[in-house]
Structure 1
Amino acid sequence: MPRRLLPLLLLSPLALPAAAQVAGAPDAPEATLPDLVVEAQRAAAARQGILARFGSRETVVDRETIEALPGGGAQPLNQILLQTPGVVQDSFGEIHVRGEHRNLQYRLNGVALPESLSGFGQVFDARALRSVSVLTGALPAQFGFRTNAVIDLETRSGALDPGGSIGVQGGSRGTFQPHANWAGFLGGWDVFATGTFLRSDQGIENPTSSFTAINGQTQQTRGLAYAARQLDDTTRLSLIAGTSLNRFRIPVTRGVEPEFTAFGLSDYDSAALRARQWERSWYGTAALQKSWGDVDLQVAPFIRSSSIHYVPSVVGETVINGVASDVYRGSLAMGVQSDAAWRVAADHTLRAGFQFTGERARFRSATTVLPLDGAGNPIDDPLTLTDRFGRTGWLYGGYVQDEWRLTEAVTLNLGLRWDQMAEYVTAGQVSPRANLVWRPTETTTLHAGYARTFTPPQFELVQGSTITQFQDTTGASPGTRNDPVRPERAHRFDAGVSQKLGENLTLGVDAYYKDVRDLLDFGQFGNALIFTPFNYQRGKIYGVEFSGNWRSERWLVYGNLAVSRSAARDIRSAQFTFDQEELAYIAGKYVRTDHDQLLTGSAGAVWRGWEDGRLSASMLYGNGLRKGFANSEKLAPYATFNFGVAQDFRVQGGGTWTARLDLINAFDTTYQLRDGSGIGVGAPQFGLRRTVLAGLSRAF
Structure 2
Amino acid sequence: MRRLLLLLSFFLLVFAVPGFGQTHVVSGVVRSAATGEALVGATVAVPALQTGSTTNERGVYTLYLPAGSHTLQITYIGYQPTTQQIRVGAASLALNLTMQPASNELREVQVEANTLRQKLNDTRMSVEKLTSREAKMLPALFGEVDLIKTLQLKPGVQSGSEGSSGLYVRGGGPDQNLVLLDDAVIYNPSHLFGFFSVFNPDAVRSVELFKGGFPAQFGGRLSSVLDVELNEGNNEGIHASGGLGLISSRFTVDGPVVKDKANFIVSGRRTYVDIFTRQINRLSKDKPDYNPIPDYYFYDLSGKFTYKLGENDALDLSGYYGNDIFGFKDDDFKFGFNWGNRMAALRWRHKYSPRLYANTTLSATSYQYTINNEIDIFSFKLTSDIKDYTLKTDYDLFLRGGHSIKFGAMATYHHFTVGRLNFDSDDNSLSFGAGNNYKAAELGVYASDDYQVNARLSVNYGLRLSAFSSGGSTYSGLEPRASAKYNLTETASVKASFASMQQYIHLVSNSGASLPTDVWYPSTPLVKPQRSQQVAGGFSKLLGKGRYLLTNEVYYKWMHRQIDFREGANLFVNDSLEKEFLFGKGRSYGNEVYLEKVKGRTTGWIGYTLSWTERRFDQINEGRWFPTRYDRRHDLSVVLLHRLNNRLSLTGAFVYSTGEAFSLPVARFPFQDVEGRDATIVPIYTDRNAFRLAAYHRLDLSAVWKLRPRYGESDLTFSVYNAYNRRNPYFVYFEQVKDNIDRQIIGFQARQVSLFPIVPSVTYNFKFK
Distance 2:325 2:715 in 1: 30
Q: Is 1:698 aligned with 2:763?
A: no
Partner of 1:155: 230
Deviation per residue, 1:216-250 (Å, 9 max, x gap):
75301011111112211111211111111112369
1:335 to 361, 365, 390: 390
| Distance 1:23-1:429 versus aligned 2 partners, 3 A rule | same
Distance 2:406 2:254 in 1: 33
Query: Are 1:337 and 1:354, in contact at CA under 8 Å, matched by a contact in 2?
Result: yes
Partner of 1:269: none
2:365 to 304, 313, 323: 304
Structure 1 position 196, deviation (Å): 0.5
Give me the CA root mean square deviation: 4.1
Partner of 1:517: 560
Q: Is 1:569 aligned with 2:629?
A: no
Q: Is 1:639 aligned with 2:697?
A: yes
**Which has the greater radius of gyration?**
2
Structure 1 position 542, deviation (Å): 0.9
Q: Is 1:76 aligned with 2:136?
A: no
Partner of 1:321: none
Structure 1 position 684, deviation (Å): 9.1
| Distance 1:699-1:419 versus aligned 2 partners, 3 A rule | same
Query: Are 1:327 and 1:528, in contact at CA under 8 Å, matched by a contact in 2?
Result: no
Partner of 1:670: 727
| Distance 1:241-1:595 versus aligned 2 partners, 3 A rule | same
Partner of 1:590: 625
Q: Is 1:393 aligned with 2:440?
A: yes
Q: Is 1:66 aligned with 2:138?
A: no
Q: Is 1:293 aligned with 2:384?
A: no
| Distance 1:396-1:240 versus aligned 2 partners, 3 A rule | same
SS at the partner of 2:454? coil
Partner of 2:501: 453
Structure 1 position 668, deviation (Å): 2.0
Identity %: 18
| Distance 1:685-1:305 versus aligned 2 partners, 3 A rule | farther
Query: Are 2:419 and 2:435, in contact at CA under 8 Å, matched by a contact in 1?
Result: yes
Further displaced range: 151-160 or 218-227: 151-160
Higher relative contact order (CA 8 A, sep 6+): 1
> Aligned residues, how many?
583
Query: Are 2:240 and 2:254, in contact at CA under 8 Å, matched by a contact in 1?
Result: no
Distance 1:552 1:522 in 2: 49
Query: Are 1:627 and 1:674, in contact at CA under 8 Å, matched by a contact in 2?
Result: no
Distance 2:153 2:623 in 1: 37
SS at the partner of 2:436? strand
Q: Which amino acid aligns with 1:278?
A: N
2:546 to 497, 500, 503: 503
2:187 to 115, 134, 146: 115
1:437 to 471, 482, 485: 485
Q: Following superposition of structure 1 onto structure 2, how do residues 36-185 of structure 1 map, counting pairs within 5 Å?
A: 54-71=123-140, 74-91=144-161, 93-102=165-174, 103-109=176-182, 111-116=183-188, 122-159=197-234, 164-171=239-246, 175=247, 177-185=248-256
Q: Which amino acid aligns with 2:185?
A: L
TM-score w.r.t. the length of structure 2 is: 0.68
Structure 1 position 503, deviation (Å): 3.0
TM-score w.r.t. the length of structure 1 is: 0.74
SS at the partner of 1:537? strand
SS at the partner of 1:670? coil
Distance 1:196 1:529 in 2: 34
Query: Are 1:511 and 1:544, in contact at CA under 8 Å, matched by a contact in 2?
Result: yes
Distance 1:96 1:404 in 2: 32
Partner of 2:24: none
| Distance 1:33-1:603 versus aligned 2 partners, 3 A rule | closer
Query: Are 1:364 and 1:386, in contact at CA under 8 Å, matched by a contact in 2?
Result: no
Structure 1 position 655, deviation (Å): 3.1
Q: Following superposition of structure 1 onto structure 2, how do residues 402-551 of structure 1 map, counting pairs within 5 Å?
A: 402-424=449-471, 425-458=473-506, 484-501=526-543, 502-520=545-563, 536-551=583-598
Structure 1 position 641, deviation (Å): 1.4
Distance 1:231 1:127 in 2: 27
Q: Which amino acid aligns with 2:694?
A: A
Distance 1:616 1:223 in 2: 29
Query: Are 1:99 and 1:597, in contact at CA under 8 Å, matched by a contact in 2?
Result: no
Query: Are 2:184 and 2:345, in contact at CA under 8 Å, matched by a contact in 1?
Result: no
1:229 to 277, 301, 307: 307
Structure 1 position 648, deviation (Å): 1.6
Distance 1:450 1:633 in 2: 34
Query: Are 1:101 and 1:522, in contact at CA under 8 Å, matched by a contact in 2?
Result: no
Structure 1 position 200, deviation (Å): 4.0
Q: Following superposition of structure 1 onto structure 2, how do residues 583-662 of structure 1 map, counting pairs within 5 Å?
A: 584-628=619-663, 629=685, 630-652=688-710, 654-662=711-719
Query: Are 2:184 and 2:364, in contact at CA under 8 Å, matched by a contact in 1?
Result: no
| Distance 1:442-1:201 versus aligned 2 partners, 3 A rule | farther
| Distance 1:626-1:397 versus aligned 2 partners, 3 A rule | same
SS at the partner of 2:587? strand
| Distance 1:155-1:650 versus aligned 2 partners, 3 A rule | same
Further displaced range: 609-618 or 585-594: 585-594
Deviation per residue, 1:264-288 (Å, 9 max, x gap):
xxxxxxxx99855311211011111
| Distance 1:548-1:200 versus aligned 2 partners, 3 A rule | farther
Structure 1 position 486, deviation (Å): 2.2
Query: Are 2:434 and 2:573, in contact at CA under 8 Å, matched by a contact in 1?
Result: no
SS at the partner of 1:64? helix
Deviation per residue, 1:476-519 (Å, 9 max, x gap):
xxxxxx99432111221111122111232111111111122212
2:405 to 312, 334, 350: 350
Q: Is 1:241 aligned with 2:319?
A: yes
Deviation per residue, 1:37-80 (Å, 9 max, x gap):
xxxxxxx99xxxxxxx8423221122321121113983234322
Distance 1:139 1:112 in 2: 18
| Distance 1:168-1:230 versus aligned 2 partners, 3 A rule | closer
Q: Which amino acid aligns with 1:414?
A: Y
Structure 1 position 521, deviation (Å): 6.1
